[in-house]
């Protein structure tokens, strides 16, 4: 893990953060291994503890479907927040481009802990909203830049 | 004899006309080929030399020949550059950062 707390546990006292981390199960992924596939049921949320997770989407290129790079998650970052948000289906495919370790939290365990300790549940919700919001803002800016280029090409 | 010479002259004249017609027919195809070349050349010229950028910049017009693996790498590089640009904008939201030009070979 990186220095400091994982983004999902930011703001939690160290003992409470450790208690949440103890709910997780460490998974080791070999290079090229798939963590989850787009469209699959999202039952677990993951924290990257070592290595990297590459997120891809299928794109039609020259009549063939190819997985295209969308984002990369590094140690301390969260992957698979669809596990906590209905309809609980992954919207991207996640693979490990190198030897990677993630901590998997089952939805049931995480939600039960959050229900038992509402202050922790609140902090996790706020952190999760920050992750989702940051991604939304990032892709809004990227979308606008692509639109701008498309309009430029149209008007050229 | 005169008839023979006249026949030979007419044959030569016919051959000359045929050659001219052939030349004219083939010349009409050349300008489009010539026009196509400057377009590629323009695309290559349009991407100015930059420090620390791979010189192997492939213009969009030539993407059909790029192997799929190379194209996927170009897309990945483009996405990373765009994310970096978007992150800069989110740190300091100004129109200048939002509209900053990319060095991505995919769009240059």
| Peptide bond before residue A108 is cis, with ω within 30 degrees of 0 | no
> Given this model, what pLDDT does residue B103 score?
83
Query: What mean pLDDT comes out for the span A42-55?
Result: 98
* Of the partner residues A61, A66, A141, the one whose CB lies closest to the CB of residue B98: A141
User: Is B86 close to A61, i.e. CB distance below 8 A?
Assistant: no
- The Cα B60–Cα A142 span in angstroms is 20
Q: Is residue A2 part of a domain?
A: no
Tallying the residues shown for chain A, one arrives at 156
E strand spans, A51-107: 53-61, 64-73, 78-79, 93-95, 100-106
Q: Give the model confidence (pLDDT) of B2-32 as tens digits.
A: 666 666 666 766 666 665 656 655 554 444 4
Contacts of B79 in chain A (CB under 8 A): 68-71
Whether A25 has a pLDDT exceeding 70, the answer reads yes
Whether A105 has a pLDDT exceeding 50, the answer reads yes
- Residue A31 belongs to domain spanning: 7-155
Pairs of residues, one from chain A and one from chain B, whose beta carbons lie less than 8 Å apart: 47
Query: What mean pLDDT comes out for the span B32-56?
Result: 47
The structure tokens listed for A119 are: 């202050």
Task: Using CA coordinates, name the residue in chain B closest to A66.
Answer: B72
- The Cα A42–Cα A116 span in angstroms is 22
Residue ranges covered by each domain of chain B = 1-46, 54-108
Those residues with Cβ within 8 angstroms of residue A51's Cβ, 6 or more apart along the chain or in another chain: A29, A75, A96, A98, A99, A100, A101
Whether B36 has a pLDDT exceeding 90, the answer reads no
Check if the beta carbon of residue A43 is closer than 8 Å to that of residue A60.
Answer: no
Q: Is residue A118 part of a domain?
A: yes
User: Is A69 close to B76, i.e. CB distance below 8 A?
Assistant: yes
Q: Is residue A82 part of a domain?
A: yes
> Given this model, what pLDDT does residue A102 score?
98
CA dihedral A125, A126, A129, A134 (to 10 degrees): -150
Q: Give the model confidence (pLDDT) of A49-94 as tens digits.
A: 999 999 999 999 988 999 999 999 999 999 999 999 999 999 999 9
Q: What is the pTM of this model?
A: 0.71
Q: Looking at per-residue confidence, does B34 or B88 come out higher?
A: B88
Q: Which DSSP helix (H) or strand (E) runs through A50?
A: strand A44-50
Q: Domain count for chain A, please give it.
A: 1
Q: What percent of chain A has pLDDT over 90?
A: 90
For residue A66, list its beta bridge partners.
A59
Cβ of residue B83 closer than 8 Å to a chain A Cβ? yes
Query: What mean pLDDT comes out for the span B62-82?
Result: 86
Among A97, A102, A48, residue whose Cα is nearest residue A69? A97
Query: What mean pLDDT comes out for the span A101-107?
Result: 98
ipTM summary value: 0.81
Task: Using CA coordinates, name the residue in chain B closest to A72.
Answer: B80
> Given this model, what pLDDT does residue A7 score?
94
| Bridge pairing between strands A53-61 and A64-73 | antiparallel
- Range with lowest mean pLDDT among A141-155, B15-29, B73-87: B15-29
> Given this model, what pLDDT does residue A45 score?
97
Q: Is residue A1 part of a domain?
A: no
> Given this model, what pLDDT does residue B51 score?
52
- For position A43, which CATH number holds? 2.60.120.10
């Amino acid at each position: 893990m990186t220095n400091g707390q994982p983004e999902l546990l930011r703001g939690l006292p160290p003992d409470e953060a450790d208690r949440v981390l103890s709910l997780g199960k460490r998974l080791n992924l070999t290079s090229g291994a798939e963590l989850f596939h787009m469209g699959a049921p999202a039952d677990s949320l993951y924290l990257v503890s070592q290595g990297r997770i590459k997120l891809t989407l299928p794109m039609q290129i020259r009549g063939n479907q190819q997985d295209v790079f969308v984002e990369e998650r590094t140690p301390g970052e969260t992957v698979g927040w669809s596990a906590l948000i209905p309809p609980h289906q992954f919207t991207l495919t996640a693979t490990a481009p190198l030897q990677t370790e993630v901590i998997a939290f089952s939805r049931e365990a995480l939600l039960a802990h959050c229900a038992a300790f509402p202050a922790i549940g609140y902090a996790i919700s706020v952190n999760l909203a920050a992750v989702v919001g940051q991604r939304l803002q990032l892709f809004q800016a990227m979308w606008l830049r692509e639109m701008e280029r498309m309009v430029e090409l149209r008007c050229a | 004899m005169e008839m023979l010479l006249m026949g030979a002259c007419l044959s030569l004249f016919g051959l000359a006309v045929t050659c001219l017609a052939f030349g004219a027919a083939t010349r009409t195809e050349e300008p489009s080929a010539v026009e196509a070349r400057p377009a590629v050349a323009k695309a290559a010229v349009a991407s100015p030399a930059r420090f620390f950028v791979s010189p192997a910049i492939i213009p969009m017009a030539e993407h059909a020949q790029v192997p799929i693996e190379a194209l996927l790498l170009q897309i990945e590089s483009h996405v990373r550059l765009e994310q970096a640009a978007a992150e800069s904008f989110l740190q300091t939201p100004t129109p200048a950062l939002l509209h900053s030009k990319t060095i991505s070979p995919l769009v240059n």
